[in-house]
Structure 1
Amino acid sequence: MEEDRVWVQMFHIYCFAYPESLEEWRRPIPPHKRCGRIAILYPDKLYSYIYHHYAIVKEGYFKGDKYQSIAIHENIAFSYFETPRDRYITSVKRNASQESIELQNWTNVDPESHFIHLPGSNGQNFWEIPCYFSISDS
C-alpha cells in the first residue's frame, strides 16, 4: 500500500476452540499475561501455511490453548495467546481421544521453511510484541 495504516483486516485461520456461549468463553481465572506476536511467511509458502492450519482446525483434534488464535494479512501472521498456556487445553471438537493426522501432515512439510525470521526474534518463527496494556472484564 502507498499509505501508512494503523489497522488492517486479518483473516482468522487457526484456533483450538470456538466460543459456544459467553458464559463458556469467560475465564474463571484471568490470564497472567496476554500475548501478541507476529511472523513473516515466505510469499511462496503462504498458501501452504494457510492450507495446513485450516486443515488442522477443520479436523478439530489437535489440542492446545483454548484462547490461542492465528490470523493472516498478506504474508504476516498474527498470533494471540495467554499465559499460562496449559490452563485451558481443548480442541475444536472437544475430543481428547483422537490424535491429529493433519498436525503430522503439517510437520511433514517442514514448518521451519515457511518463516522469514525477524531481527530480534532470536531465531524463533514468531516475534513477541511487547504488551503495553490489556483490557479485562475481571
Structure 2
Amino acid sequence: MMDIFHYLQPVSEEHWRRTEPVSKPFARIARLKPEQVASYIFYHYQYQEERPGDGDKYGMIALHENLMFFYSESPATIEPPPYEGKLTTSHTPSEWQAAMDPHFIPWEEESGHSLIWLEIPLLFQLQGNETIGGEQVR
C-alpha cells in the first residue's frame, strides 16, 4: 500500500520512538470511486502540507488501487510538528466531510454508524517490551 496521507511524518528514529504507553490502535477501510482517487489524494496532500501535526502523530492513510486504509490511535498523540509543511497556502476545505463524501463508494450494509467506513476489529495488541522471533519490539 502507498502512504498517501499522514498527520505527522517521522523525521528521525528518536522522533518516532514512543515515550508513552501505546494507545489503543484502530483501523478502518473505505472504497474510493476510481474517478475520484486523484482528487482524494490531492486534498489529503494539501491538508498534510498546510496543516502538519493536525491530528494523531501516528495517524495515516494508505491506498491500494481504490481501497483506502486508515490507521490511528486513541487517545491520539498530538504534538507540534518539528518541520514546516511544504505548502504556505490555506486552501484545505473548511467543510472537510462535505468535500470528502463524494469520493466514496458506500458499503451495502451500515457498519456501526457509517456506510462509508468499515471498522477493522482489533484482534491483539503488543504492549511494552515483547519479543518476536528473538527481536525486541518497541
Normalising by structure 1, we get a TM-score of: 0.74
- Alignment partner of 1:57 out of 17, 40, 48: 48
Which of 79, 86, 107 matches 2:96?
107
Aligned letter for 2:66?
N
Cα deviation, 1:5-45, whole Å, max 9, x if unaligned, reads xxxxx110100111122222122222331111101111121
- Structure 1 position 124, deviation (Å): 5.1
| Paired-residue identity, % | 34
**1:120 maps to which of 100, 110, 128:** 110
Aligned to 1:18: 9
| Residues 91, 113 of structure 1: alpha-carbon distance in 2 compared, 3 angstrom cutoff | farther
- Asked whether the 8 Å contact 2:53–2:78 carries over to 1, the reply is no
- Structure 1: runs of 5+ lacking an equivalent: 1-9
The CA RMSD over aligned residues, in Å, is 2.9
Q: Which amino acid aligns with 2:68?
A: A
CA distance in 2, matches of 1:36, 1:65: 13
Task: Count residues in correspondence.
Answer: 125
Letter of the 1:88 partner, please give it: I
Which residues in structure 2 correspond to 1:9-48 (within 5 Å)?
10-48=1-39
Contact 1:35 1:82 in 2 (8 A): yes
Does the Cα contact within 8 Å between 1:62 and 1:103 map onto a contact in 2?
Answer: no
